[in-house]
Structure 1
């Protein structure tokens, strides 16, 4: 009979080897699922880093060797990134100044990035184009504009950006626009200017539905969240927000809103920023998985996605330090008992469904003419803005979209929602 010490040592070695095998099995399973369903991330600020570090001089950058960002081509490949919404973000201090120009430059740099690295990126505008890129082993590249200040309160600018490939608009960043309140209002650090959305803000929601542009509710007040959920005929998204009940930060989503997102068949794409994960400066992979578990418990696996916020934040969880580490989170969800089907929903199937639903709403509204009623001039008047295009005796003085007209538009939206 072997001595007890040897038996104990053998048991420890067996348990250690078994744990390693189990971990390897989970990772193999995670990678298999990621080879079958594209990982679609809702928010990455690499374009902002290209401006911040290189003034958008893409000719001076090699994304194969760039090491000063969370994102580069080797990290994308290792992380199995199937599709990415690249953020066309410019700061709030551009509002009422050069926000539109700077945002167009961010849209331009995404297009140029796709053209410079065609073996890695394929520009995408639709759900089907995401799948086509995935089948060709390239990362589908989409654009989201992060902050309504980028529009300069112009529906024409919204339409031009859509034509350039923008597929979501985050209604606010961390500043109020002339037509919507931002999340800081809920902290008490800024006053509400519109009690949520102004009349023009509601016009914008209707026009986004008509265009087929996703409405992103990250960065807005709870009041705006609920107003949009009341109005929109298409599903809404939170491109990079986490669960408020797990970390009570005002950038996160309360449980009652999670339930409404489920009713709307939308998606909440979990943010990895430590401050939104644990409400502290430190976090780990397990803390992020807690948000996935909570959202699934409250509203089901069919509203969850990934919204890492890489290259837009300064602190990231242990084992999720850059885009190459995302498979670790997928393996952790499997370890916690998520089924293959649930993981595939979170990876990309949920976002694909949301985009297809949005495209159906757009198609159902294709007979509706573009809204060309401008925001009232007094709502945007400042020393950097001219009044060209306004007849100040009527169009700018009283907002011409009457309550009756808005109610009629919303009724048509509701009918479209029921029939798709």
Structure 2
């Protein structure tokens, strides 16, 4: 049985820009081309670029929600994710937000986001917004950002730390009461890119019972333009060595970054599963590719 749970892709935004369907397209991910798995859970991020703020950011978020809603209306092959009932033979879709700028500075929108299906939200992208500073910034959480953390937790929206810097990450740790996740980040100690997690951050996420989604972007794997399965496995082994066997997951970043050439479309995932099964036992492969993430959302949504 092949199961696949991906914590992050940017396909909604690409569909918005291209006026393409989520169901049928030539992007990294389409629902039709993803009908390869016995069980498939795909997180679709509504992405807001750092140059987009206020009402414009909120409207861009709504435009991406519309792409997902259109897919639900268009095809029975994609359904909203229900952690208590993962359907077989369809895409079980989770809506996330990449960049809290989507709120337009209005925390009252958090409950609206929950109603629209948002289950994961990153406070920042790489720059600074009303809530916090990201990887290209030095600032931590703003006063509004600290309030947002409380509101997100109250609304059972999981906080994503993938784009946070050291200051914002550790300030979040001071106030977060619920587990948080890094949907698409690799290991800084293997590839020292500011978007990757250092060992202390990885251990903190492990301690809190979160998730870390392994990213397919070569720049975060080895700092080069392409990477091998072996190099990707190095990040997996590193997190496991730190005690992360139960928190490691998949966060492809499909349609948001150029993935390694051997793994740059949804239909190549089965080849990767085959490779993983050669190097790890079957129980761990199932944990990594599906079970850890599924258990987390059963417990935390």
TM-score category of the 2 structures, normalised to the smaller one = over 0.9
Query: What is the alpha-carbon distance in structure 2 between the residues aligned to residue 81 and residue 319 of structure 1?
Result: 22
Report deviation, 1:78. Answer: 3.2
Query: What is the alpha-carbon distance in structure 1 between the residues aligned to residue 83 and residue 273 of structure 2?
Result: 22
Report what 2:150 is aligned to.
Answer: 206
The partner residue of 2:60 within 96, 102, 123 is 102
Aligned length: 301
Query: What is the alpha-carbon distance in structure 2 between the residues aligned to residue 202 and residue 210 of structure 1?
Result: 13
1:278 and 2:278 matched: no
The partner residue of 2:31 within 69, 73, 78 is 73
Query: What is the alpha-carbon distance in structure 2 between the residues aligned to residue 114 and residue 289 of structure 1?
Result: 35
| TM score, norm. by length of structure 1 | 0.68
Is the contact made by 2:23 and 2:71 (CA closer than 8 Å) also made in structure 1?
no
For structure 1, the 5+ residue unaligned runs are 1-31, 186-191, 360-420
Query: What is the alpha-carbon distance in structure 2 between the residues aligned to residue 148 and residue 114 of structure 1?
Result: 25
User: Which 4+ stretches in 1 moved above 4 angstroms?
Assistant: none
Per-residue CA deviation, residues 70-118 of structure 1 (Å, 9 max, x unaligned), is 1223431236660111111132222135100110111121111122111
Task: Tell me the secondary structure at the aligned position of residue 40 of structure 2.
Answer: strand
Task: Tell me the secondary structure at the aligned position of residue 43 of structure 1.
Answer: strand
Task: Tell me the secondary structure at the aligned position of residue 276 of structure 2.
Answer: helix
Report deviation, 1:353. Answer: 2.1
Report what 2:11 is aligned to.
Answer: 46
Higher Rg of the two aligned structures: 1
Per-residue CA deviation, residues 348-400 of structure 1 (Å, 9 max, x unaligned), is 221122223323xxxxxxxxxxxxxxxxxxxxxxxxxxxxxxxxxxxxxxxxx
Query: What is the alpha-carbon distance in structure 2 between the residues aligned to residue 292 and residue 62 of structure 1?
Result: 30
Report what 1:333 is aligned to.
Answer: 276
Task: Tell me the secondary structure at the aligned position of residue 92 of structure 1.
Answer: coil
Report deviation, 1:121. Answer: 0.6
Task: Tell me the secondary structure at the aligned position of residue 98 of structure 1.
Answer: helix
Is the contact made by 2:11 and 2:22 (CA closer than 8 Å) also made in structure 1?
no
Task: Tell me the secondary structure at the aligned position of residue 78 of structure 1.
Answer: coil
Is the contact made by 1:181 and 1:221 (CA closer than 8 Å) also made in structure 2?
yes
Report deviation, 1:323. Answer: 1.0
1:111 and 2:93 matched: no
1:254 and 2:198 matched: yes
For structure 2, the 5+ residue unaligned runs are none
| TM score, norm. by length of structure 2 | 0.94
Higher normalized helix content (fraction of residues)? 1
Query: What is the alpha-carbon distance in structure 1 between the residues aligned to residue 112 and residue 248 of structure 2?
Result: 30
The partner residue of 1:148 within 100, 105, 118 is 100
Higher normalized strand content (fraction of residues)? 2
Query: What is the alpha-carbon distance in structure 2 between the residues aligned to residue 319 and residue 297 of structure 1?
Result: 25
* Cα RMSD, aligned residues only: 1.8
Query: What is the alpha-carbon distance in structure 2 between the residues aligned to residue 156 and residue 89 of structure 1?
Result: 20
Report what 2:233 is aligned to.
Answer: 289
1:236 and 2:180 matched: yes
